[in-house]
Structure formats: C-alpha cells, structure tokens
C-alpha cells in the first residue's frame, strides 16, 4: 500500500478489464499544478453539503452561500492587504489575466499601450498581443531572467503606457521579480501596475500585493482545487470579460464556485501558516544542495538564473544534450519522477521556451532545460532520490548514445 502523502502521486493504470496496479511517482512539477491539500479537500466537501444554494438567490439558502463568499473575500483581502470589495472570483489566473488586458483596452485611451515583461505566462503575453497588437511592448529580462527596474524607470521618462505588467516570480526559472520596485516606479509615473502573483502565492507571503492595481492568482498552484482563482482590481471596478448575470457586482457573470473558493482560501490559510514557521532557509538549502550535487555528478549541467534570487522550490537546469529533451521527461517518468521541460518537443521539432529565448539562450540550449519544482510536502529524502534518478537516467542515455563498434 502506498503511503498517504501528497508528495507521491498514485496513477491507476488499466491492464485488462479487471486488472489494475498502482505506480508511485515522486512529484516534481508543482509549478504546473499542486496536489489538492487534504484541508482544502475537506473544506470543499463540507461546502458542497452546506452551501447548496445559488449565491444570487434571494432565499436563506442562497443568502448563506453569498455570506460564505463574502467571508472568503474578507480573508483573502486580509492576506493581500486590500479591501474585500476589490476581490473578484474567477476560474483561475488565465481568466483573471485576460480580464485585466480586456479591461485595459476597453477603458483606456484609444491609442494607449500595454507593457509586460517578455517572461510573462502566455496567458498574459498572448492576450496583450491580441488586444494591443502594435501597441504593446515586451520588457526584456537580463541574462538571469530578471527585469531591470532602472531600465523600466528610464523608459517611463520617455513614454507612458496605460498599464505595466510584471509577474512576481517566473514559473520556468523560479527567478523572483522586483514587483514591489516596479509598483513604486509606476506610482511615481501615474501608471497602473498589474502583477501576476500565481507562482508566488502560497510559497511566499501574500502581504503587499493589495497595493497593486491588479493582481491575479490561481488556487491549484498552492494546494487548492483546479478551476478557481481571483482577480484583485482597483476600487473594485473592471470591465467584465464575461457578460450575462450581475454576479460579482457586475464584474464577472456566472454562478460563483462556492466550494472551490472556500477550498482555495483554506489552502492559502494552510500555506500562510507554514510560511510563518520560518523554515525557508532550510528549503533553500535543500534546493541548493541538489543543484551542487547534480553539477558534481553530471558533466555539463548549468543552473538557469543562477545569480538571481529564486523561489525555494524551483530548479531549472541545462542538461547534457540529447536528440529530444522530452526523452528526459519520459525516462524520468518511468524511473518514478514527474518533472517538466523547458521546451515542447513534438513531431521531431523543438519549440524553445519564450522565457529562455528572452534570456538570450539559443534554441539548442533552450532545448536542454529541465525544470524540477517541489512542494511543501517534498522532503530532503525526495530531493536525494531525485538526484539518484537523474544520475541513473543520464547514465542510461549516455550508453544509448555510445556508438556500437
């Protein structure tokens, strides 16, 4: 029987009509999604039974659900440091990010511009290019994947956009971005500031984000359920992306996901309590020891964004070259480790990551990147097991590439 731990994922695989077996995998892809935390699962289950009504309905059952949403709004606002009315419940950060950009193009001057960093998530970059077309600018990072505040300040002296967008931490490299400094520069220049805090929340303290004009977040990145998130918007006003009902004070049509929202807030409460325990240095040490040992045991390993402050859970490295980087992912998966890659390999063609490209990596080097992202429940022993797994897989692939005489 598998241990009851969210750091191990049990995959049920059918062999025949009645035969099944379980495969335990150590999970190192938390930046993609984190397993549902038991406390969030319990909160969701309780909410399903307790809040059966539509929050918009006028009867007592509907009013009970509406009050539960208001209480959740107050809790999230307390973590962020904003007014509860500034919070809009959404389906996740992708929707929230699209709302921000849609709002900017609808409410801004006709020829306004929208600036975002070149390392943003596609759910920010793609709608920016779509809505602002030739009126957008991508702010480049340095070679360590961090956007320069000095360069932003200098550029703002020459021209001003409607909004500047900078994520809090990068999902691929783990590099922490100077979002507080960017907010201060935008305030000095009377420019609205938007921060995608998806990879930060639940891993580092949420306090301070309430000062930003717009903030987006997604529950499933820190142990909440998939399909629920939030948007913090200035003064509570935003041009809605979804039209229909008058839910969320007319800012987002559609019946709210009450169980999802309550589970998200419970997960964030758990993570904020863990953050107060103050063991971040220990987690940084585990990450750094893994990198150091990996470099010692495998020639050619390079750490991405090595000179930047990085998220305690994220390691992005250039591995020895193989014909397709996806082989690393497949072989590590078979060895019992779920990891991610820095490029998409399909039909023999590699698409380099836009983040790595912005950091001046060549397509060839971008195709060598693997990302390991841990969670709160990941242990020192898990990191050590991952190290042995990567070393083993590297040896296997080296033998496969050795020509037979």
The single residue of 82, 186, 195, 345 carrying the catalytic annotation is: 345
For the cut 60, the answer to whether the pLDDT of residue 18 exceeds it is no
For the four alpha carbons of 175, 33, 263 and 55, in that order, the dihedral sign comes to positive
**Nearest Cα residue to 99 out of 251, 255, 220, 265:** 251
Supply the mean pLDDT for the chain.
91
Rounded Cα distance between 316 and 369, Å, is 7
Rounded Cα distance between 31 and 16, Å, is 34
- pLDDT score of 343: 56
For the cut 70, the answer to whether the pLDDT of residue 303 exceeds it is yes
For the cut 60, the answer to whether the pLDDT of residue 15 exceeds it is no
> What tens digit of pLDDT does each residue of 94-151 get?
999 999 999 999 988 888 999 999 999 999 999 999 999 999 999 999 999 999 999 9
Number of H helices, E strands in the chain: 13, 16
Rounded Cα distance between 304 and 293, Å, is 16
Answer for the pair 149, 221: CB distance below 8 angstroms, yes or no: no
DSSP 285: H
Provide the whole-model pTM.
Answer: 0.92
Q: CATH 3.40.640.10: does it fit domain 38-274?
A: yes
Question: What does the block give as tokens for 215?
Answer: 């903030």
DSSP-assigned letters across all residues of 91-159: S-HHHHHHHHHHHHHHHS-TT--EEEETTS-HHHHHHHHHHHGGGEEEEPB-TTS-B-HHHHHHHHHH-
Q: 8-30+278-401 — its CATH code?
A: 3.90.1150.10
Per domain, the residue ranges of the chain are 8-30+278-401, 38-274
pLDDT > 90 fraction of the chain, expressed in percent and rounded? 81
Residue 143: how many CB atoms within 10 A of its CB?
13
Question: What does the block give as tokens for 371?
Answer: 């990302």
Pairing of strands 192-196, 87-90: unpaired
Asked about 82 being catalytic, the answer comes back as no
pLDDT level of residue 321 (50, 70, 90 thresholds)? confident
- pLDDT score of 402: 63
């Amino acid at each position: 029987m598998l241990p009851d731990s969210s750091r191990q994922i049990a995959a049920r695989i059918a062999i025949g009509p009645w035969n099944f077996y379980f495969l335990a995998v150590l999970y190192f892809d938390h930046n993609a999604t984190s397993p549902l935390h038991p406390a969030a699962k319990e909160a969701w289950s309780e909410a399903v039974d307790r809040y059966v009504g539509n929050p918009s309905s006028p009867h007592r059952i509907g009013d009970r659900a509406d009050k539960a949403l208001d209480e959740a709004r107050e809790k999230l606002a307390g973590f962020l440091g904003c007014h509860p009315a500034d919070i809009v419940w959404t389906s996740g950060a992708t929707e929230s990010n699209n709302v921000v950009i849609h709002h900017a193009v609808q409410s801004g001057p006709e020829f306004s511009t929208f600036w975002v960093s070149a390392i943003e998530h596609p759910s920010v970059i793609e709608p920016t290019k779509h809505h602002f077309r030739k009126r957008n600018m991508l702010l480049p990072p340095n070679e360590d994947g961090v956007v320069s505040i000095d360069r932003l300040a200098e550029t703002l002296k020459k021209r001003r956009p409607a909004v500047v967008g900078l994520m809090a931490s990068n999902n691929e490299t783990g590099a922490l971005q100077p979002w507080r400094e960017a907010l201060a520069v935008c305030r000095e220049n009377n420019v609205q500031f938007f921060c995608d805090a998806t990879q930060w929340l639940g891993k580092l303290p949420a306090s301070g984000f309430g000062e930003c004009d717009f903030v987006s977040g997604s529950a499933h990145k820190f142990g909440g359920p998939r399909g629920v998130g939030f948007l913090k918007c200035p003064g509570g006003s935003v041009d809605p992306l979804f039209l229909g009902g008058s839910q969320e004070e007319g800012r987002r049509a559609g019946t709210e996901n009450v169980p999802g929202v309550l589970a998200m807030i419970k997960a964030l409460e758990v993570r904020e309590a863990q953050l107060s325990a103050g063991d971040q240095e220990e987690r940084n040490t585990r990450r750094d020891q893994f990198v150091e040992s990996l470099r010692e045991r495998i020639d050619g390993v390079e750490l991405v964004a090595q000179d930047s402050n990085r998220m305690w859970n994220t390691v992005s490295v250039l591995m020895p070259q193989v014909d397709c980087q996806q082989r690393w992912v497949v072989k590590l998966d078979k060895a019992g480790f779920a990891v991610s890659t820095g490029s998409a390999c399909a039909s023999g063609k590699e698409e380099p990551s836009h983040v790595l490209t912005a950091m001046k990596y060549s397509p060839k080097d971008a195709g060598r990147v693997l990302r390991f992202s841990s969670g709160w429940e990941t242990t020192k022993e898990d990191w050590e097991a991952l190290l042995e797994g990567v070393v083993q897989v590297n040896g296997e692939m080296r033998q496969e590439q050795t020509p037979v005489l």
